[in-house]
Amino acid sequence: MPPYSAMASPTSPLPSTEPIPWVGAKGAFLVLFGFILAREFLYVFLNFSLGFLAGLLEGIVGPIPDAFWIELNLWTAPFLSIMSVGGGAAAGMWLIYNQSKGQSPFQWLLKSIWEPNHGSFFTWPFFIGLSLSLGWGLCFFYWFSPDHPLPRPFTSQMLNAPFIPQLFWIILIVGIAPFIEECLFRGILYAGFSQTWGPLPGCIIVTGMFVALHFPKIYVYPPSALAILSLGLATLWLRLRTHALTAGMVCHMTYNAFIVMGMFLF
SS3 string of 155-198?
A: HHHHHCCCHHHHHHHHHHHHHHHHHHHHHHHHHHHHHHHHHHHC
| Mean pLDDT estimate for the chain | 82
Q: Tell me the C-alpha distance between 259 and 261, whole Å.
A: 5
Q: Please tell me which residue, 7 or 198, carries the higher pLDDT value.
A: 198
Longest dimension (CA), the chain: 68
pLDDT at 220: 85
pLDDT bin (cut points 50, 70, 90) of residue 30 is: confident
Does the pLDDT at position 67 exceed 90? no
Task: Calculate Rg over the CA atoms of the chain.
Answer: 20
The better pLDDT of the pair 147, 199 is held by: 199
Taking Cα atoms as reference points, which of 234, 232, 258, 252 lies closest to residue 133? Answer: 258
- The predicted-structure confidence for 121-174, as pLDDT tens digits, reads as follows 678 899 999 999 999 888 877 777 776 666 666 777 888 888 999 999 999 999
pLDDT in the model for residue 50: 86
* Residue 162: C-alpha distances to residues 16, 157, 170, 182, 231 (Å): 45, 10, 12, 29, 30
Q: Are 31 and 189 in contact (CB under 8 A)?
A: yes
Q: Comparing 7-21, 34-48, 128-142, which segment has the lowest mean pLDDT?
A: 7-21
Specify the pLDDT at position 2: 44
pLDDT, residue 6, reads 44
Q: Where are the alpha helices (DSSP H) in the chain?
A: 24-61, 66-99, 105-114, 120-142, 153-159, 163-170, 177-181, 190-197, 199-213, 215-220, 224-242, 246-265
What percent of the chain lies above the pLDDT cut of 70? 80
| pLDDT given for residue 53 in this prediction | 87
Percent of the chain exceeding pLDDT 90 equals 35
Question: In the predicted model, what is the mean pLDDT of residues 195-217?
Answer: 92
pLDDT at 89: 86
